[in-house]
Amino acid sequence: MMRIILAAMLLFCGVCEASDWVSVWKSADGTVESFVDAANIKVEGGIRTAWLKRVPKPHTEKGLDDNANKWVDYQLSSGSFDCVEMVIREESNAVYYDDGTVQRYENPFLESLGVPEPWMPLPDDPLAKALMQFICAYKQ
């Protein structure tokens, strides 16, 4: 029976891609660490798309709005990085809480039009610079 379950899981996850979460930045006080999934960076010309994970230390960060009483477990997002123009665009963003719930952030107006989020200048902060440097240095 266990072999059947394992085989089914392998068949189902055969379409799943492996992850390789590489730490690219840690806050000075050590309360937050950010990672890039190096195994799944997509490159098209000067544009790279990557999965990002932001992980606060347990029980140090609360959610926002309706989730203000919940502890953040991690934040998972996808972003595009234009390595020539040095601009970024958020593709998706979700916050996972330690109670198992998820809060997704989307722009329903743009999504309904089939329009991606706009490109934004690279923020002047160490995390954004570390992400851009790591992702733009990636070679296929």
Q: Distance between CA 93 and CA 112 in Å, rounded?
A: 17
The rounded percent of the chain whose pLDDT value lies above 90 is 71
Q: Distance between CA 131 and CA 26 in Å, rounded?
A: 11
Residue 1: pLDDT over 50? no
Nearest alpha carbon to residue 98 among 77, 71, 64: 71
Q: Distance between CA 24 and CA 93 in Å, rounded?
A: 18
Q: Distance between CA 38 and CA 21 in Å, rounded?
A: 6
Give the model confidence (pLDDT) of 34-64 as tens digits.
Answer: 999 999 999 998 899 999 999 999 999 999 9
**Residue 6 confidence (pLDDT):** 36
Tell me the whole-structure pTM to 2 decimals. Answer: 0.81
Mean pLDDT of 88-102: 94
Least reliable range by pLDDT among 11-15, 72-76, 92-96? 11-15
Residue 89: pLDDT over 50? yes
CATH code: domain 18-137 is: 2.40.128.710
**Residue 17 confidence (pLDDT):** 64
Domains of the chain, by residue range, sit at 18-137
**Residue 105 confidence (pLDDT):** 83
Q: Distance between CA 2 and CA 104 in Å, rounded?
A: 35
Q: How confident is the model at residue 7 (pLDDT cuts 50, 70, 90)?
A: very low
